[in-house]
Structure 1
Amino acid sequence: MTKRYAVVLAAGQGTRMKSKLYKVLHPVMGKPMVQHVVNQLTKLKLENVITIVGFGAEKVKEQLGDVSNFVIQEEQLGTGHAVMQAEEFLKDKEGTTIVVCGDTPLLTSQTLEALLSHHDKEGAKVTVLTAKASDPTGYGRVIRNKYNDVERIVEHKDANESEITIDEINTGTYCFDNQSLFKALKQVSNNNSQGEYYLPDVIQILKKSNEKISAFQTKSFDETLGVNDRVALAQAEKLMKKRINEDHMRNGVTLIDPDNSYIGPDVIIKQDAIIYPGCFIDGNTIIESDAVIGPNTEIRSCEVGENTTIRQSVAIDSKIGKRVQIGPFAHIRPQADIGDEVKIGNFVEIKKATLDKNSKVSHLSYIGDAEVGKGVNIGCGTITVNYDGKNKHLTKIEDDAFIGCNSNLIAPVTIGKGSYVAAGSTINKNVPADALSIARVRQTNKEDYGKKLKKMQKD
């Protein structure tokens, strides 16, 4: 099999984005555009991926990590000049090099594989990925001869009146015979309106040498969308969201209103889960079968078990078991580990805490830095007082304990198995197993004192 290589063009600043953030790092569905591109390339059988960086080089390198080699394009002198920078990695290689722009986040590995296969089958020196555009403004036009062969590609700014009416556009993605590519690049000139070295000029150079030029036209123009401004970024976001949501629905997930459900590209949702409108689900989240999420719920990088329901709540970086009930208006903060059949009700905050099977925190409580056993009932208004101004401390509540309403548990403290804490108590010492702990001031009633207060207020 012919060896394959990839060059990703990611050096441009993207002035039309009008942003401090470099263009290829702008996110689509929560992931930088260039990361989408490289992720799809890594699904192909490639020997090497070389990313051409310029503006924001260090941040692009940090984002992509060791899945790519990097070359800096010190001056941005066009796409041809950019590919020339990869010569140190590829000049001695035999095989096929695929060139992809880092601002085309919707390209799929399936389309790229089809392009490579077509290139191999045709035995071409160059194969251009093209598409039909209803509005080709800004794109290079594919010029064909009377035999329908590709003659050349003309940039929009250099196109004449006839050429500008052509609706078949160059997507900026190509396959090249590697040796032919770098030989032809040495002949590319910058004699054009921009004074740049255009990669598409390689096609005309090879054509003059009677080399075979081919084109593979994808049926999906949307997939080839290049993002150059915030309008196109929003369009890419919408298209990516639609693609992701349709994939989930075809895999057996119910999205009540897919237009108003935001699901990130790395999220896994199992069959028969139901997602209500207004949900934002992102990161490395896994939602098991028959779970019910939403409406209006945010989940980021969580594991959510079977038959669990989360309503109008936020859950981040946590593990949530089976048959759990959460919400409405609960906040599951990072490092929570919620066991099976737990109930977390309205206005409850859980942070870096474990709650074992069948425990309940039904409303208006804060449980932070805590270990809660099985079958524990935590009453309304309970707080684990975990912070002394310098350090966080652990609260342990053992199996079958009952915490009365409006209790403060001052950590470090342990509430023993089967024990009771009376409502309104402030606990700062360990409670033995099966004990009743009462820590509150005895009630005192002062007769007629209310009348005295009212008189004082009037005076």
Structure 2
Amino acid sequence: MYSISETTFFDRPTSIEHESGVITFGAFTVVEASKNAPVHFLGNARIGHQCYFSKNDSIKSPIVISNDVYVDSGCRIGADSKIGERTQVLYGATIFETVEIGSECIIGSDVSNWTRIDDRVTFFGTVVHSNRKVEDMGAWNTDPHPAPHIKSDAFIGEASLLIGGIEIGQSSYVTAGEIVRSNIEAESIFVRGKLFPLSRFKNFIST
């Protein structure tokens, strides 16, 4: 593990070798840190240009983070994950292993293993996997479980729950606190357990 314990500005592309791998920082990347709130990098990481990491972040390898990504304080990003350009990870969110996040997303809560999030998604919900058999306990961390695919320009409201390998359609809207167990059609809104065309709410909601 490589820890940065003071605020560091990389004014040019920089590679740092450490005991568990190599970290490559793009130019104009900032790591905000202190002795009491270091930023930890475990293993190999490829960081783009003009990224910003905050105090108490933890980054686990292997990982690819594209240009202009902002990671708020106290966030964790798991191994084998990818984050697209100009995405923001906020409010101490955890991105677990093998997650793919597109460009220009806002991630404000935890994203579970194997979830796919396309471009320009706003995500404030929670992802859970479908129930499994007790005898499958040993495969929990090794075998992929069905996880949601959230398509571009979708909005996932605060404290909504996405269960299993469902698809959230392009430009769809899931309101706060909903439990979603099946696919959501593109350009639709899921509210109070029912699905409606988003056009019916065009004067009330902007995505």
Q: TM-score range by the shorter chain?
A: 0.7 to 0.9
Report if the CA contact (8 A) 2:174-2:189 is conserved.
yes
1:271 matched residue in structure 2: 12
1:307 aligns with 2:45: no
Query: In the comparison of the two structures, how many residue pairs are matched?
Result: 171
1:340 lines up with 2:96 in the alignment? no
Which of residues 344, 353, 374 in structure 1 aligns to 2:119? 374
Structure 1 segments (4+ residues) deviating >6 Å? none
Query: Does the alignment pair 1:422 with 2:163?
Result: no
Could you say if the C-alpha distance between residues 256 and 427 of structure 1 is closer, same or farther in structure 2, counting changes exceeding 3 Å?
A: closer
Distance 1:430 1:323 in 2: 32
SS at match of 2:73: coil
Please state how far the C-alpha of 1:294 moved relative to its aligned partner.
2.8
- Could you tell me which amino acid in structure 1 is paired with residue 60 of structure 2? I
1:326 pairs, out of 65, 71, 84, with 71
Deviation digits for residues 294-338 of structure 1 (CA, Å, limit 9, x no counterpart) = 301011211111000011200111111100000211010111100
Change (3 A) 1:256 1:403: closer
Distance 1:281 1:373 in 2: 34
Change (3 A) 1:329 1:421: same
CA separation of 1:257 and 1:368: change in aligned 2, threshold 3 A: closer
Residue 270 of structure 1 contacts residue 287 of structure 1 at CA under 8 Å; is this kept in 2?
no
1:220-249 C-alpha deviation (Å, 9 max, x unpaired): xxxxxxxxxxxxxxxxxxxxxxxxx9xxxx
Q: TM-score, normalised by structure 2?
A: 0.74
Partner of 1:388: 131
CA distance in 2, matches of 1:281, 1:316: 14
Q: What's the CA shift for 1:272?
A: 7.2
Deviations 1:259-282 (A, max 9, x none): xxxxxxxxxx77277xxxxxx995
Q: Please say if residues 402 and 421 of structure 1, whose CA atoms lie closer than 8 Å, have aligned partners that are also in contact.
A: yes
Distance 1:272 1:369, change over 3 A: closer
- For structure 1, which runs of at least 5 residues remain unmatched after alignment? 1-28, 31-244, 246-254, 259-268, 274-279, 442-459
- 1:393 Cα offset (Å): 1.4
How far apart are residue 439 of structure 1 and its match? 4.8
Match of 1:161 in 2: none
What is the Cα-based RMSD across aligned positions, in Å? 2.8
> Residue 354 of structure 1 aligns with which residue?
100
More strand by share: 2
**Residue 22 of structure 2 aligns to which amino acid in structure 1?**
N
Deviation at 1:293, TM superposition (A): 1.2
Question: Following TM superposition, by how much is the alpha carbon of 1:383 offset from its aligned partner in structure 2, in angstroms?
Answer: 1.1
Q: Where do 5+ consecutive residues of structure 2 fail to align? A: 195-207
- Output the CA distance in 2 between the equivalents of 1:305 and 1:346: 21
Q: Residue 403 of structure 1 aligns to which amino acid in structure 2?
A: I
CA drift of 1:386 comes to 2.4
The question of whether the paired residues in 1 share the 8 Å contact of 2:6 and 2:32 is answered with: no
Share of identical aligned residues, percent?
18
Match of 2:30 among 265, 274, 292: 292
Instruction: Specify the code of the residue in structure 2 equivalent to 1:286.
Output: T
Does the aligned pair in 1 maintain the 2:12–2:26 contact within 8 Å?
yes
How far residue 437 of structure 1 moved from its aligned partner, in angstroms, is 1.1
Question: CA shift at 1:287, angstroms?
Answer: 0.9
User: Within 5 A, what are the aligned runs for 1:237-256?
Assistant: none
